[in-house]
Amino acid sequence: MEELTSRIVQATGLDAAVVEKAVGLILAFLAKDGPTEEVSRLFEAIPGAQQAVATSGDGGPGESAGGLMGMLGGGGVMALGQKLMAAGVPMGQMQPLGRELFAYGREKAGEDVMGPIVGSVPGLSQFV
């Protein structure tokens, strides 16, 4: 996870603690909303992925979207964006963060894993 965190810090200028939290939130989101088989393969390919999710503070699978999005029945990428902003990721850094995380995923797990993940989650492609 240190290699990934370092890459994202370099690409975004964000603090390492913010990056670690953000990566955990994104991975937790993928675990909830992504295709199970591919997400499992991604987690296997990224050392520390499970730990990042565990320490992200996200409720994990089954958690309903909180706040206004939850009340409106929304969620998905919009709810993830709210969580990332609350964790200290400015809107303008979400796309660079996502691109770096998904590039790393492609390097470690391959396009056959990342393609279906991106393709199956509505709205995700705009951030990667």
Report if pTM > 0.95. Answer: no
Range with the poorest average pLDDT among 63-72, 84-93, 108-117: 63-72
Give 2's pLDDT tier (boundaries 50, 70, 90): very high
How many domains, the chain? 1
Mean pLDDT of 71-83: 75
Does residue 123 lie within any of the structural domains? no
pLDDT at 62: 41
Q: Is residue 58 part of a domain?
A: yes
Average pLDDT for the chain: 88
Q: Residue 126 domain-assigned?
A: no
b/e per residue 3-27 (b: at least 16 CB within 10 A)? ebbebbbebbebeeebbbbbbbbbb
pLDDT single digits (tens) 33-67 = 999 999 999 999 999 999 999 999 875 444 433 44
| Residue for token pair 């989650």 | 121
Amino acid 125: pLDDT: 87
Domain of residue 28, residue span: 2-116
Say if CB 4 and CB 52 are below 8 A apart: no
